[in-house]
Chain A
Amino acid sequence: GAVVSQHPSRVICKSGTSVKIECRSLDFQATTMFWYRQFPKQSLMLMATSNEGSKATYEQGVEKDKFLINHASLTLSTLTVTSAHPEDSSFYICSARPQGEVQPQHFGDGTRLSIL
C-alpha cells in the first residue's frame, strides 16, 4: 500500500530555532501533500495544502511566513517552522494523495515538536 514517511519523528529544541520537517511519499508520486497540526486530545486541523511546483495554500489563521512550505518534487514536501516558540509545540502530521486519485490521503507517522 501507499507509504508516507515523515522525518524526524521527534524534535526538541530551544525557542527561536527554526525546524524543518520532511514528508516523503515512498512508493507513489504526489502532486499534492497536506500538513496538519494536532494538539493533545484534539482532532487534526489542516494547516496548508502543498502543491508541487507552486505556492502552498494556507488555511485561514495560519501564518505563511511562520510555516514555510516547499514542495520541490513529486515525492517530497517540507514544512519549516521558523523561529519556533513554545506555543508552536504540537504534533505535526503530513499526508499525501497519489497522483491522479481524488482520495484517500495516506498519512505519515507525525512529528512531535517540543519547543523549550
Chain B
Amino acid sequence: GQQLNQSPQSMFIQEGEDVSMNCTSSSIFNTWLWYKQDPGEGPVLLIALYKAGELTSNGRLTAQFGITRKDSFLNISASIPSDVGIYFCMGAQKLVFGQGTRLTINP
C-alpha cells in the first residue's frame, strides 16, 4: 500500500542531543499525526497537526505541518533514554504511515 517517505530510518545519538525527523509525500494531507511505538506495544499519539504551517509543541517535542501540506517534521530536544523507540508519521484521512524512524540513544 501507499506509504509516506520518512527519514531517517534510524538514528543513533548521545543522550542530551536534539533529534529531527521528517515525512514527505507527493499527496496533500489535511492532518499530520506523529506517533511513538515502544517494542511490543501499539503506537501512542504524540502530536496532531491540523493546519498548514501549524507549529505545535508537546514538552520537548515540536512538530510542524508543512505549508505545502505535503510534509511534516518532528523535533525532540535534549533527548533522554525514554525517548528510545520507533517514531511514525501518519497522513490522516488516507491512514498512511511512514516507514518509521528508529531512535537509539547511547548513554
Contact = CB atoms under 8 A, between A and B. Distances in A.
A57 to B, nearest CB: 11
Interface string B1-43: 1010000000000000000000000000001010100001111
Given A43-B88, A104-B48, A109 B98 contact: no
Interface in A94-116: 95, 102-110, 112
How big is chain B's contact interface, by range? 20 to 34
B42 A110 contact: yes
A43 B92 contact: no
B42 A60 contact: no
A34 B95 contact: yes
A109 B42 CA distance: 4
A40 B93 CA distance: 25
B99 interface: yes
A27 interface: no
B45 interface: yes
Contacts of A34: 95
Which of A59, A93, A104, A107 is packed against the most chain B CB atoms within 10 Å? Answer: A104
Contacts of A110: 40-42
A107 B98 contact: no
Contacts of A95: 42
Interface of B is mostly: loop
A44 B88 contact: yes
A108 B44 CA distance: 9
Contacts of A46: 1, 95-96
A12 interface: no
B100 interface: yes
A104 B92 CA distance: 8
Interface of A: 4, 6, 34, 42-46, 49, 59-61, 91, 93, 95, 102-110, 112
Interface of B: 1, 3, 31, 33, 35, 40-45, 48, 50, 88, 92-93, 95-100
